Amino acid sequence: MRVISLFNRLPSRKALRRGLREWSRTDGLTWAFIFKVLLTALLALWLAYRLELPQPSTVLVTVFIVMQPQSGQVLAKSFYRILGTLVGLSVMVLIIALFAQERILLLASLAVWVGLCTAGAARYRDFRGYAFLLAGYTASLIGLPTTSHPENAFMQALWRVLEISLGICCSGMVSAVVLPQTTRTVLHNTLSLRFRDFARMAHDGLSGRLSTEQFEALAARFAAESVGFENLRSASAFEDPHLRQRSGRLASLGSRFMLLNTRFHALHQLLNRLQTRPYVLDTLAPCLDEITALLVPLRDRLPIEADAARLAQRLAERREPLMQSIRTAREQLTQAQLSVEDLLDFNTAAELLYRFADDLHGYASAYATLHGPRPAKTPEPESFTPIANRIAAAVTGLRSALVVGVLGLFWIETAWPSGDSCALAAVLISALSSTSSNPRRYCLQLSVGTLGGALAGFVLVFFVLPQVNGFALLFYALSPVFILGAFLITRPLWAGYGTGLMVWFCSAALPGNMPIYDASVFLNQYLAYLLAAFVAAVAAAVLMPPNRPWMWRRLEQDLRLRVVQAISGKLKGLSSGFDSGTRDLLNQAYVLSTGHTVVQRQFLRWMFLVLEVGHAIIELRHEQENLPNHPCYLESRAWRQAIRAMGRALIRLFIQPGPKHLERALRAVDYAINSAQDARIHQEPNAGHFDHSPLRRVCSYLHFIRTSLLDPNSPLARHQRGRLAERSARLDEL
């Protein structure tokens, strides 16, 4: 009876399957990655010993740096790392040929090359950054050991390239064949989750139930996901031919989502500002209900292609009723004889709502046909435009060059036997920390991981390995350290500990084909690694660390300059480049200001203002580009001259915000609005019909720019208060 009672308490088969499925999606992925790391290390190490490579540790270090959970990322990284390795090999052989007779010049050339590569990795934060990292690391790996014996440089270079290439090939093969975690699945889940969450945000925002905190959090998240989506799309091209053929459609889908998100930002911000005009908002409510009703089915479930197709069809069917609702509401406001500003507010909101519905239809249609046959009208290829501050990248490269130069000079002056290992470790640490948001903390984590690796390596080398006979027992003895390191790497907050543990454990504790058990050499090696990590951490903490106010000011300036790009950049491809660059800058700023809520909120407000003003300017430029052939639309007309003057005033404002520049920009916008209205009333044909009046749409864009500049929640609000205070002081003087 007790056995039966115990059997009844066991979970059912269905519950076990559900639990196993849930585990496979969470912790199961971690253990699958650990298993693949162990298998890759086993294969790479066996081949290194079998081929009698001089430094099997280089093979394993490459494996632990290249391995990633998704196979597409491993293949993409492997491709760019091989390119970087070949470039580093070529450059280092050239440097050795030029300066082999003088170690100081050779070291200076190497430091400059490492600085350039590190700056390139910080500048290009996509897969190209890995090529820069490997170019600097490979040059150091080849050049530093050969300074004493330059005649062996070429053979040393070939051995190092073979070892690195072996590690890369083993990582790519195991990741693609054994328990592959495909980028395609992650990409599909990302698209579904993003579509659902955006539909929920749009529904709640148009219904007036979206709080400011929720809106800001979702805006920051969507900006980060836009950057992550582009990395996934780039990696998928190496993994899946199906996705490689649809890479252009995926890029277009990402651009459409950024445009749709920007359109909703502008509409949501304007609706918030219309809270002070309840009559206008109430009149617009039936038009808003036309869209919110269509978003209800998507807000609580993950959409599939059929859901997107159904939404696109319903949006196409409701386009004419939405237009009729807007006309009816406009007539109602006209009969109520409201002010010109109220009518401009309504026209601007109605134009944004209609364009939002049109963009939502385009995104849903593209989502529905993503995996289907190639559409008859292929969208133009869109490119994601990452933006990085050049001064910050130069500072990162200069910091790395100084660290390598200082440790190299210390090595030469002291004739320390492990000085080359110290300088080489400094190169690798600088490369690994160059893309970190907090390089000081990452270097300290590497130091702690290195110390743990030294303790484990000492026990292993002098107490375990002398008792081991054969490769199987050797790998069995190494496996606990590999498992712990791989587990730490899967945790973003602890990744530095895992990297430091595995990389420098392999560098000093892994036996070569001719094992040497020398305590002094072992201790000197780990002392060199700890010194390099300590010096790199001090340099990252002292020499202009990126997570400090100087960097925040630079990124804020870069955000403001996006408006200058919208005004003066080439119109072709400007919209997608403007969107992606602005969101990439926000994502960088948000990561570098982690823990500083006030700073992050300020960055978000600048992003909202830049997106609103920038997109209004781009739409205004498109409107002027497509004007009909009529005398009132000529470039010599006063309203077009006023728009150009407004552009110059906005450039001055966003380059150097201040009360005087804000007042000048507002006067320029007001003058442009008045000039466009006068031209519409006295010169434009069909001026009474909004749908056929370009100047009415121009007035809407200009009015939206004005309301954005006057928004009390924008970062320009303090300059607005300063402008009012100056006016009050002048009146008091009079």
Q: Which two tokens stand for residue 114?
A: 């490492």
Comparing 369-373, 441-445, 627-631, the range with the smallest average pLDDT is 369-373
| Predicted local distance difference test score (pLDDT) of residue 649 | 93
Does residue 179 have a pLDDT over 90? no
- What is the C-alpha to C-alpha distance for residues 292 and 209, in angstroms, rounded to an integer? 12
| Predicted local distance difference test score (pLDDT) of residue 504 | 82
| Predicted local distance difference test score (pLDDT) of residue 720 | 65
Q: Which two tokens stand for residue 638?
A: 């006063």
519 vs 558: which has the higher pLDDT: 558
Q: What is the mean pLDDT of residues 327-352?
A: 79
Residues 244 and 236: beta-carbon distance below 8 Å: yes
Does residue 732 have a pLDDT over 50? no
Q: Which two tokens stand for residue 130?
A: 């890995």
Does residue 730 have a pLDDT over 70? no
- What is the C-alpha to C-alpha distance for residues 84 and 62, in angstroms, rounded to an integer? 13
Does residue 263 have a pLDDT over 50? yes
pLDDT digits (tens, 9 = 90+) for 82-138: 888 888 888 888 888 888 778 888 888 888 998 888 888 888 766 777 788 878 877
- What is the C-alpha to C-alpha distance for residues 597 and 589, in angstroms, rounded to an integer? 12
Does residue 167 have a pLDDT over 50? yes
Q: Please, which pLDDT band fits residue 266 given cuts at 50, 70 and 90?
A: confident
Mean of the per-residue pLDDT values for the chain? 81
pLDDT digits (tens, 9 = 90+) for 538-588: 888 888 888 788 888 888 898 899 999 999 888 887 887 888 888 888 888
Q: Please, which pLDDT band fits residue 229 given cuts at 50, 70 and 90?
A: confident
% residues pLDDT > 90 (the chain): 4
| Predicted local distance difference test score (pLDDT) of residue 173 | 84
Does residue 379 have a pLDDT over 60? no
| Predicted local distance difference test score (pLDDT) of residue 652 | 93
Q: What is the mean pLDDT of residues 708-720?
A: 80
Does residue 283 have a pLDDT over 50? yes
pLDDT digits (tens, 9 = 90+) for 501-515: 888 888 878 887 776
**pTM, to two decimals:** 0.79
Q: What is the mean pLDDT of residues 333-352?
A: 78
- What is the C-alpha to C-alpha distance for residues 509 and 686, in angstroms, rounded to an integer? 83
Q: Please, which pLDDT band fits residue 46 given cuts at 50, 70 and 90?
A: very high
Residues listed for the chain: 734
The amino acid at residue 599 is: V
Q: Please, which pLDDT band fits residue 690 given cuts at 50, 70 and 90?
A: low
170 vs 16: which has the higher pLDDT: 170
% residues pLDDT > 70 (the chain): 87
Alpha helix stretches (DSSP H) within 318-339 = 319-335
pLDDT digits (tens, 9 = 90+) for 131-155: 888 788 778 877 777 666 677 777 8
Residues 384 and 230: beta-carbon distance below 8 Å: yes
Q: Please, which pLDDT band fits residue 236 given cuts at 50, 70 and 90?
A: low
H/E segment holding residue 632: none
CA distances from 441 to 433, 493, 539 (A): 9, 10, 12
Does residue 8 have a pLDDT over 60? no
Q: Which two tokens stand for residue 51?
A: 């081929």
| Predicted local distance difference test score (pLDDT) of residue 728 | 44
pLDDT digits (tens, 9 = 90+) for 352-366: 888 888 889 988 888
Q: Which two tokens stand for residue 717?
A: 């609000």
Look at phi and psi of residue 511 and say left if phi exceeds 0, alpha if psi is from -120 to 50, else beta.
Answer: beta
- What is the C-alpha to C-alpha distance for residues 649 and 663, in angstroms, rounded to an integer? 9
| Predicted local distance difference test score (pLDDT) of residue 428 | 80
Q: Which two tokens stand for residue 674?
A: 């008045």
**What is residue 668's three-state secondary structure?**
helix
pLDDT digits (tens, 9 = 90+) for 185-218: 777 778 888 888 888 898 888 888 888 888 888 8
342 vs 657: which has the higher pLDDT: 657
Does residue 37 have a pLDDT over 90? no
Most confident of 500-514, 520-534, 638-652, 700-714: 638-652
Comparing 63-77, 462-476, 487-501, the range with the smallest average pLDDT is 63-77
- What is the C-alpha to C-alpha distance for residues 147 and 676, in angstroms, rounded to an integer? 72
Does residue 729 have a pLDDT over 50? no
Q: Which among 416, 411, 348, 414 has a CA at the least distance from the CA of 708? A: 348
The packing angle between helices 71-99 and 103-123, to 10°, is 150
Residues 500 and 447: beta-carbon distance below 8 Å: yes
| Predicted local distance difference test score (pLDDT) of residue 47 | 92
CB atoms within 10 A of CB 251: 21
- What is the C-alpha to C-alpha distance for residues 542 and 317, in angstroms, rounded to an integer? 61
Distance from chain centroid for Cα 213: 22
| Predicted local distance difference test score (pLDDT) of residue 686 | 63
| Predicted local distance difference test score (pLDDT) of residue 380 | 55
| Predicted local distance difference test score (pLDDT) of residue 43 | 92
The packing angle between helices 638-655 and 549-568, to 10°, is 170
Q: Which residues contact 655 (CB under 8 A, 6 or more apart)?
A: 560, 561, 564
- What is the C-alpha to C-alpha distance for residues 265 and 704, in angstroms, rounded to an integer? 12
Delineate the domains of the chain, giving CATH numbers in brackets: 7-181+387-436+438-542 (no CATH), 183-239+247-368 (1.20.58), 549-733 (no CATH)
Alpha helix stretches (DSSP H) within 415-470 = 419-433, 439-459
| Predicted local distance difference test score (pLDDT) of residue 654 | 92
Tell me 573's DSSP state.
T
The amino acid at residue 147 is: T
Q: How far apart, in Å, do the first and last CA atoms of the chain sit?
A: 101
Pseudo-torsion of CA 164, 165, 168, 171, nearest 10°?
Answer: -110
Does residue 392 have a pLDDT over 90? no
| Predicted local distance difference test score (pLDDT) of residue 651 | 92
Does residue 376 have a pLDDT over 60? no
